[in-house]
Amino acid sequence: MKKIIAILMLSVSVMFAAINLNTASKDELMSIKGIGPVKADAIIKYRKSNRINSADDLQKIKGFGPGVISNIKKGRTVSKAKVEQKKKNAKINDKKNKQIKKVNKSKNMTKEEKSAKKKEIKSKAKAKKQKVAEKSKAKKEKSKAKKAKKKEKSKLKKEKKSSSKKTKKDNNKK
Domain shared by 49 and 83, yes or no: no
Distance from first CA to last CA of the chain, Å, rounded? 60
pLDDT, mean over the chain: 82
Instruction: Round to whole Å and give the CA distance between 71 and 82.
Output: 16
Instruction: Round to whole Å and give the CA distance between 44 and 95.
Output: 22
pLDDT value at residue 1: 57
Q: Give me the percent of the chain exceeding a pLDDT of 70.
A: 83
Domain shared by 88 and 68, yes or no: no
Which tens digit of pLDDT belongs to each residue from 123-144?
Answer: 999 999 999 888 888 887 888 8
Q: How far is CA 117 from CA 18, 90, 100, 121, in A?
A: 44, 21, 8, 6
Domain count, the chain: 2
Q: Among the listed ranges 45-49, 143-147, 168-172, which one has the minimum average pLDDT value?
A: 168-172
The Cα diameter of the chain in Å comes to: 97
Looking up residue 36, the CATH number of its domain turns out to be 1.10.150.320
DSSP at 74: T
Instruction: Round to whole Å and give the CA distance between 56 and 66.
Output: 9
Which tens digit of pLDDT belongs to each residue from 75-89?
Answer: 888 777 778 888 888
Domain shared by 96 and 64, yes or no: no
Q: What range does the domain containing 60 cover?
A: 20-73
Q: Is residue 45 domain-resident? A: yes
Residue 69 has pLDDT above 60, yes or no: yes
Q: Is residue 7 domain-resident? A: no
Question: Minimal CA–CA distance to 32: which of 151, 114, 42, 157?
Answer: 42
Q: How confident is the model at residue 15 (pLDDT cuts 50, 70, 90)?
A: very low
Q: Is residue 148 domain-resident? A: no
Q: Is residue 92 domain-resident? A: yes
Q: How far is CA 147 from CA 17, 63, 64, 83, 153, in A?
A: 26, 36, 34, 20, 10
